[in-house]
Copies of this chain bind each other. A is one copy, B any other.
Amino acid sequence: DDLLQDTGIANSIAASDPESLALLLESVPLEPRLISWQQVPNAKKLDVLVEMRGDPRTTVIESTPKEEWEIIFQNVDAEQLLEISDTLPSDLLEIALAAMGKQQRQFFQDASQYKDEQIGHWLNHELLVLPTNAKVRDGLRLLRRELPDTTECIFLLNRAGQFSAAVKLSSLFGEPDHLPLVDLSEDYISVVKADQDAVQAAREVQTSGYISLPVVDDGNKLLGRVDIVTACELVNENYERQIMSSAGMDEDEDLFSSVPTSAKKRAIWLGINLMTAFLASWFIGLFEATLQEVVALAILMPVVASMGGIAGSQTLTLIVRGLALGQVTKSNRKALLDKELKVGILNGFIWAFVVGAIAYLWFDSSLLGVVIGIAILLNIIAAAITGVILPLILSRLKIDPALSGSVILTTVTDIVGFVAFLGLGSIFLL
């Protein structure tokens, strides 16, 4: 009880919508989280679970007594189950499937045939559909029923269940009853293929001007629709994945995961980084004799490495965004490399001069100034080239450049920087 007062969560539970409640539960440590979770009414629990991120969701799922699940899953539908199924133990999945009607179970199975990354996995099945030859009066009759959320169109299907047209509800008013709906159909609505990339399809919905788009299979059969609420979730999740993966984490990361879990998850990334750091050290070790003679090289080493790292990560970030937006393609990658190379050469010369001058003044050695200047120039140029080419290679290899790009880039700029600086130092300063 004390814990609850501390976090100020107690009063909020009753009043909150599922989204806020999910954010709230995620933002408190494990103990008060589980106490608060118990106080969430069972009827609300499913909606909250759907809104939560994977890791914190797992913590509350594990704490929920088995007998509660039948109540929680009382009105579960296919969409909700799909959202949480990757964090659900198989026995609970069984309970949920048993609670669903035949049609919802069918929807769940259909969706499960598509991968997480495909839009077919994330369909909304609440649709207004009519046969292609339906009239305005048929459309108006549909409106008297309760409409599903985010519905603005009636989809017209031919006898084979294939999508033929979409008609905006709002275009029905004032039209004569006997007018064929096809005459009012939208000319430019996009039709999404179920096996299309989920994030790309979601972006298409966001910019389509429609609240949802129809989704069809390879045979043009209407399977469902992507609504804008789902689209926002997919796009936001993708951005979070990008941000989190730049630090070697995933978007499901729990603010308050248990210490061992969290340490273990992060250890992998630290381990990968350690290997690259030792690799860089090994290259430094090649110049042991030089370092012993010219200690200024050891002192200035980090400057060379970090200037390359920063310049490279700027290029990398720009290219990764361009790839995500589909703006970096075969046709412009040469021009991009050309431009980034020129930027690198320009900035390389500027900073070579600045760093060279400072090093000269600090250590009173013009030769040292020249050596570090050349090393900076080379490293910034190498950074520009790597920043363009690396994400292109990674994305062709189907490796997420947001995740592994920066580690590899830093390894390259560290090694190029150290080798150039210490190598030139060995030649000119010994």
Interface residues, chain A, with chain B CB atoms under 8 Å away: 6-8, 17, 19, 23, 26-29, 140, 143-144, 146-147, 149-152, 169-170, 173-174, 188, 206-207, 209, 211, 228-229, 231-232, 235-236, 239-240, 242-244, 246-249, 253, 255-256, 259-260, 262-263, 266-267, 269-270, 273-274, 276-278, 280-281, 284-285, 288, 291-292, 295, 298-303, 305-307, 310-311, 313-314, 316-318, 321-322, 325-329, 331-332, 335-336, 339, 342-343, 346-347, 350-351, 354-355, 358, 410, 414, 418
Contact = CB atoms under 8 A, between A and B. Distances in A.
A169 B336 CA distance: 50
A263 B343 contact: yes
Nearest to A326: B23
A236 B237 CA distance: 11
Contacts of A314: 247-249, 266, 269
Contacts of A342: 259
B303 A281 contact: yes
A174 B255 contact: no
A310 B236 contact: no
Contacts of A26: 327
30 contacts: A17-B188, A19-B207, A27-B328, A29-B332, A29-B335, A211-B211, A231-B232, A244-B317, A244-B318, A247-B310, A255-B332, A259-B346, A263-B346, A263-B350, A266-B311, A266-B343, A266-B347, A267-B347, A270-B311, A270-B347, A270-B351, A274-B303, A274-B354, A280-B302, A285-B299, A288-B295, A291-B291, A291-B295, A298-B301, A302-B305
Nearest to A286: B299
Given A28-B335, A270-B310, A302-B305, 9 more contacts: A7-B332, A23-B325, A143-B170, A144-B173, A152-B152, A232-B232, A270-B311, A298-B301, A302-B414
Counted per complex, copies of this chain come to 2
Which of A23, A247, A318 counts the most B-chain CB atoms under 10 A from its CB?
A: A247
Contacts of A149: 209
A244 B321 contact: yes
A247 to B, nearest CB: 4
Nearest to A202: B232
